[in-house]
A = this chain, B = another copy of it.
Amino acid sequence: MSWQPPIDETHDPVRESWVESANDAATDFPIQNLPLGVFTRRRGGDGAPRIGAAIGNRVVDVRAAAEAGLLAGLSAAALEVLRSWTLNAYMNLAPDERGTVRRSLGAFLDARTLAPRRQALSHLVSMADVDLHVPSSIGDYTDFYASIHHATNVGSMFRPDSPLLPNYKFVPIGYHGRSSSIVASGTPVRRPAGQARPEGAVTPSFGPSTRLDYELEVGAFAGPGNQLGTPVAVGSAERHLAGLCLVNDWSARDVQQWEYQPLGPFLAKSFATTVSPWVVTLEALAPFRVPAFERPDGDPPPLPYLESTANRASGGFDLTLEVLLSSRRMREAGCPPARLSRSHLSTMYWTFAQLVAHHTSNGCNLRAGDLLASGTVSGPSEDARGCLLELTWRGQRPVTLPTGETRAFLEDGDEVLMRGWCAREGYRRIGFGECRGTVAPAAPTT
């Protein structure tokens, strides 16, 4: 019943690609990674979105390569779904079927392959020449709250008397997010307007948010769904996941504080959510599995429906995450983006397998391409806080940028850049690419 992808020869660190840039130690996309995404060519092509695979600084036009007969060993089902303009049908394949895509791409791109190189090259595009899109049509987007450090920090600001609510260690807290406003990395994010009630005021006012924030998260795309009414057991939960990405869950803190009772965040979040465009497969991440978070003594064990041997042993991912910020003045001065924090997915209180098991425990159905996000990934230390609300402690301790500018919350023109990667001795580094977004000024209000 229990299932996780194994480590196999596709992870062999000595494998190289004939795409030279994939062999660079610093690349996010060595031949051991091979994430899929959806792209359009900026020049030429028919303008239609197509499925691509990242390799070094190139994108493989997967459909074209497959149709040219260059991807050997693909099942008929895999061949069919790669013709789509979203990854939903691919995600809906059983893990073994999806695995044929990874193996076939790996064989095609392997330096040892005596492929007709000239023909192969015609199916590669430079990363600089493509636009990358949200990889699936996301039916439902769920956002969790799986970092106990984040929950404790935020709780202590909003509810100093009870920072961590009594349900936290039992319930993987989550809420439904907005699918329509999920955008791909690079899309500008307009500062939202909304209601807020300033401290001390009796009535709220409506206007552009003055407390715009990012949230550093990791997203999991659903693989094959479950039937409505049929829960997924935690041990087999990962069969229902197709891969991971980075997520910036932009948040208007002033709007959030005023609106969130009693039904949770709504307009404070629904104006935009940015995802990184490459879906890093669980297969590629196999060498980087770590035990689920070890609960400190005194914490209750998970209820049985959230507990399995496999999950305890290797439900986590040793994934390092960073947030960087670049202000307009920094860019004008030629400063590189400044790192604001670094944290680790392995510090989360709940694993993705537990989130899937909880989500479906009431019979709720997942559909291939759905997005489940972790919630803000904050660690125990101050430099591991995954949003400005925590980093600046509600704006009271602004951060200083290289230009001397300070930030309590985001200003117009600020670019937020998130990165993530897995690294382990004896394996090639597996990167997630970037999740970027620049704050655009609010729309004029009437």
Interface residues, chain A, with chain B CB atoms under 8 Å away? 139-140, 145, 155, 158-159, 165-167, 170-171, 173-181, 183, 190, 192-195, 197, 203-206, 225, 228-231, 233, 252, 255, 258-268, 270-272, 300, 303-305, 358-359, 361-367, 370, 440, 443, 445-446
Contacts and interface: CB of A to CB of B under 8 A. Distances in A.
Contacts of A177: 176
Nearest to A228: B181
22 contacts: A140-B179, A145-B263, A155-B262, A158-B262, A167-B261, A170-B204, A171-B204, A173-B259, A173-B262, A175-B176, A175-B266, A179-B179, A180-B365, A181-B364, A205-B303, A206-B305, A206-B361, A252-B362, A260-B262, A263-B265, A267-B362, A270-B364
Contacts of A174: 263, 266
A106 to B, nearest CB: 33
A408 B363 CA distance: 23
Nearest to A183: B228
Given A180-B139, A228-B183, A203 B300 contact: yes
Contact of A175 (B158, B175, B358, B362): B175
A362 B145 contact: no
A422 to B, nearest CB: 29
Nearest to A188: B229
Nearest to A365: B180
A175 B252 CA distance: 16
A206 B261 CA distance: 26
A253 to B, nearest CB: 13
A369 to B, nearest CB: 11
Contact of A367 (B180, B229, B264, B362): B180
Given A173-B266, A270-B364, 18 more contacts: A145-B263, A167-B259, A171-B258, A175-B176, A180-B364, A192-B362, A192-B363, A194-B361, A203-B300, A206-B305, A206-B361, A228-B271, A231-B443, A252-B362, A267-B361, A267-B364, A268-B362, A271-B363
A190 B360 CA distance: 13
A267 B180 contact: no
Contacts of A365: 180-181
Given A229-B190, A264-B263, A271 B364 contact: yes
A195 B180 contact: no
A231 to B, nearest CB: 7
Contacts of A165: 261-262
Nearest to A375: B263
Nearest to A255: B362
Given A165-B261, A362-B270, A364-B271, A305 B445 contact: yes
B206 A364 contact: no
Given A165-B261, A175-B263, A266-B176, A203 B255 contact: no
A300 to B, nearest CB: 6
Contacts of A194: 361-362
B443 A230 contact: yes
A385 B347 CA distance: 45
Nearest to A204: B170
A386 to B, nearest CB: 16
B206 A272 contact: no
Contact of A167 (B204, B231, B272, B363): B204
Contacts of A167: 195, 197, 204, 258-259, 261
Contacts of A205: 303
Nearest to A177: B176
A171 to B, nearest CB: 5
Contacts of A359: 267, 270
A176 B170 CA distance: 23
A228 to B, nearest CB: 6
Which of A252, A362, A365 has the most C-beta atoms of chain B within 10 angstroms of its own C-beta? A362
Contacts of A228: 180-181, 183, 190, 271-272
